[in-house]
Amino acid sequence: MNLIQRVTSSLSQNRAKLPKSNALAEVSMENNVIQGNNNTITIINHSGLSAIADAQKADMEVFPLSKVYITAQIPPEVAILYIQADGKDRYRLMGGNSEITLQLTEPYEKPDISLDVLVQKGQTPEKIRHTIKCFSRHNLVLRKWLNTVIQKSDCKKYLVIADHTNFEIPWELLQLRPESFPYEYLGALVTTVRWQNIDSDDEITLEFAPEECCGDTIAYTNHQELNVSEEIMVLKRLKANIFDDIAKFHGHLQIKSTNSSFIYIAAHGIFSKDHDDIAIGVLNNEKQQLKLIDLDMNPLKTGGIVFLNTCHSGQHQTHSRIPNCRVGFVELFFRKGAKGVIGTLGGVGDLYAARIARDLMQACWDSSSLSVAALLRDIRAKVVADLEKEPTQHNHLAFIYTFMYVYYGNPMTVLRLTPSGGQTND
């Protein structure tokens, strides 16, 4: 697919290409205590107290998970990494599981390592990998904690990344031992999921319990501008309801009486500083675009797993007129009932986007027990192994693009894809 040009300086679209390879919240953080409900964190200043001191008072609780994170009961195999904004250009880390605490760190300066930004700046995959290696080396405290957690925890290792900044740090690409094991990346080694606060009438929390999504599949594919043949092949095997008109697809989502287990969208993504312009669909036909505000202002019941195979679908944008209000397709679909959402952290090449979707859907079809997050981990691990074995241009691109995909939701949710009585809608 040809390189997709930017519509305006403030808009970027789906499935852009990387350059070819040459080688083949402002708060005072002192004396604070952490409080919160099941899925939010509030840092309140109290003289003479600290989060760690407070945690040490709790019986059998090294890190105050029940006060800070998401659900009151965190399984021993789950660890949580929390990234707290410290002003506009700094952040702090805190983390833990049932045994090992990452104490609140000193402030770090915001790094310029957003995959989306690096790609737009024309960085080659090798240069991006080197930047990530330097970032990993610099984060020794975090790496020590993660290595300890991985070595001591149960064989089923889950990491929840609760990033409450807009810095777009690709945590899944963190190298745990960059010098000794240069092909060891966090998101390919551990089952990682992301989470954020979801503003809703009812409290939406991240649960940690085995869960299955079973049922029919519906899809929208932009075959006018994208090569979606590989995705269509798998979707037809599933007998999915496939739409190529986004307005009809949107209407179907509004009137459907039963939840789907899987909603798949292959389209261009339009990302903008003005939240009113954020959309998915056909790039050159506004009538075939579905804006974020259109989805938000209409009744919609999604359920199941939503796979947004569009660029920027996993990114969040601060509301244009409401400070500290983050909007995006991830939080929208959770408010509409989704159990999990897969999105991207930037522009993904057309060929690679199709193959990643094909591999994930095929894995869900073949696997009887692995969660969606674990399957995505295995797909990342494969591209890492391919790159280590043969560092070609294709494998470099596959590596970068695959790590742009992130999963939000319960790390234990299994998607069981089976054929249903679907049809093609045009």
pLDDT at 70: 61
Residues of the chain with pLDDT > 90, as a percent, come to 47
Sign, Cα dihedral of 294, 295, 301, 307: positive
pLDDT at 11: 40
Task: For residues 175 and 165, give the distance between their C-alpha atoms in angstroms, rounded to a whole number.
Answer: 21
CB crowding 11-47: b at 16 or more within 10 Å, else e: bbbbbbbbeebeeeeeeebeebbbbbeebbbebeeee
pLDDT at 72: 60
User: Which among 61, 25, 62 has a CA at the least distance from the CA of 43?
Assistant: 25
pLDDT at 71: 62
pLDDT at 156: 63
DSSP type of residue 104: P
Q: Band of the pLDDT at 258, cuts 50, 70, 90? A: low
Task: For residues 278 and 272, give the distance between their C-alpha atoms in angstroms, rounded to a whole number.
Answer: 6
Q: Which of 30-44, 126-140, 178-192, 199-213 has the lowest mean pLDDT?
A: 30-44
The tokens for 173 are 């690409």
Provide, for the chain, the percentages of residues in helix, strand and coil under a 3-state DSSP scheme, each rounded to the nearest 5: 30, 25, 45
pLDDT at 62: 45
Distance of CA 162 to the CA centre of its chain: 10
The tokens for 151 are 């070595």
As a whole number of Å, the CA-based R_g of the chain is 21
> How do residues 286-312 score in pLDDT, each as one tens digit?
888 888 888 888 877 788 999 999 988
> How do residues 150-167 score in pLDDT, each as one tens digit?
887 655 689 999 998 889
Q: Which of 68-82, 89-103, 350-364, 372-386 has the lowest mean pLDDT?
A: 68-82
Q: Widest CA span of the chain, in angstroms?
A: 65
Residue 126 has pLDDT above 90, yes or no: yes
Three-state DSSP class for 287?
helix
pLDDT at 161: 94
Other CB atoms within 10 A of residue 180 CB = 8
CB crowding 239-270: b at 16 or more within 10 Å, else e: bbbbbbebeebbebbeebeebbbbbbbbbbbb
Task: For residues 425 and 416, give the distance between their C-alpha atoms in angstroms, rounded to a whole number.
Answer: 23
- CATH architecture assignment, domain 11-18+209-425: 3-Layer(aba) Sandwich (3.40)
Residue 93 has pLDDT above 90, yes or no: yes
- The model's pTM is 0.83
Residue 256 has pLDDT above 70, yes or no: no
Span 242-256, average pLDDT: 88
- Helix ranges, 139-210 (H): 140-152, 186-189
Task: For residues 212 and 413, give the distance between their C-alpha atoms in angstroms, rounded to a whole number.
Answer: 6
pLDDT at 290: 85
416, burial (CB in 10 Å: exposed 0-12, middle 13-18, buried 19+): middle
- Phi first, then psi: give them for residue 414, nearest 5 degrees: -105, 135
> How do residues 359-414 score in pLDDT, each as one tens digit?
999 999 887 789 999 999 999 999 999 999 999 999 999 999 999 999 999 999 99
What are the residues whose beta carbons fall under 8 Å from the beta carbon of 37, sequence distance 6 or more? 203
pLDDT at 270: 81
pLDDT at 26: 31
pLDDT at 291: 85
pLDDT at 57: 41
Helix (H) or strand (E) segment spanning residue 392: none
The pLDDT mean for the chain works out to 80
pLDDT at 420: 62
174 against 418, higher pLDDT: 174
What are the residues whose beta carbons fall under 8 Å from the beta carbon of 262, sequence distance 6 or more? 213, 215, 216, 217, 218, 238, 240, 304, 305, 307, 364, 415, 417
Span 307-335, average pLDDT: 80
242 against 153, higher pLDDT: 242
> How do residues 220-237 score in pLDDT, each as one tens digit?
999 889 999 999 999 999
Residues of the chain with pLDDT > 70, as a percent, come to 78
Q: Which of 43-47, 61-65, 71-75, 227-231 has the lowest mean pLDDT?
A: 43-47
Sorted by where each begins, the domain ranges of the chain are: 11-18+209-425, 32-194
The tokens for 170 are 């690709």
pLDDT at 61: 43
